[in-house]
């Protein structure tokens, strides 16, 4: 099965990073999913337009833990990874999917910008939440575990699930 390298530059997160633990071959491992949206400008003059691309990425291990801790809706990132075509049988029909796995993620927000975004998203102290933790100075490159596979729905389906307006 072949992998194709994918780069998504200058993207913003469409919602919160979703983190949970799954059972791996070597024991429990963290898995996070995030949806990043980037714009591409096409054409020139009167024919100039923008096209938005949304990709749901899967992150593994320490990279997943860090993303859940430091990123939130509206965070500015660069993501490099791979896409893999998968298929499975559902009710006698073959279903084809594309899985995007992040190998590198650059956090592009400054420490102050990251803290402000997370503070805006988290409930206040009167609701029993702790203040957000400090984020490392940007850009920070996080390397993820290689060789892990994950199935991810299409980017549009991910956006439909979130129901949040796009932050830009």
Tell me whether residue 36 is in a domain: yes
Tell me whether residue 22 is in a domain: yes
| CATH classification at residue 83 | 2.40.50.140
Tell me whether residue 144 is in a domain: yes
Q: Which residues pair with 56 in a beta bridge?
A: 35
Tell me whether residue 168 is in a domain: no
Q: For residue 19, is pLDDT > 70?
A: yes
Tell me whether residue 166 is in a domain: no
pTM metric for this prediction: 0.66
pLDDT in tens, 53-69: 999 999 999 999 999 99
- Domain range for 112: 4-160
pLDDT in tens, 122-165: 654 444 333 344 333 444 444 444 333 333 333 444 444 455 55
Tell me whether residue 167 is in a domain: no
Q: Look at the chain and report how many structural domains it folds into.
A: 1
Total residue length of the chain: 168
**First CA to last CA across the chain, in angstroms?**
37
């Amino acid at each position: 099965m072949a992998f194709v390298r994918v780069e998504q530059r200058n993207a913003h997160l469409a919602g919160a990073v979703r983190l949970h633990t799954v059972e791996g071959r070597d024991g429990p491992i963290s898995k996070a999913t995030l949806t990043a949206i980037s714009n591409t400008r096409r054409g020139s003059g009167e024919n100039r337009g923008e096209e938005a691309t949304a990709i749901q990425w899967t992150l593994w291990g320490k990279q997943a833990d860090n993303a859940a801790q430091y990123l939130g809706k509206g965070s500015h990132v660069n993501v490099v990874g791979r896409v893999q075509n998968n298929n499975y049988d559902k009710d006698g029909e073959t279903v084809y999917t594309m899985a995007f796995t992040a190998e590198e993620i650059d956090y592009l927000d400054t420490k102050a910008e990251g803290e402000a975004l997370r503070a805006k998203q988290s409930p206040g102290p009167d609701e029993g939440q702790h203040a957000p933790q400090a984020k490392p100075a940007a850009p920070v490159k996080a390397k993820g575990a290689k060789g892990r596979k994950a199935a991810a729905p299409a980017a549009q389906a991910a956006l439909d699930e979130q129901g949040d307006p796009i932050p830009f």
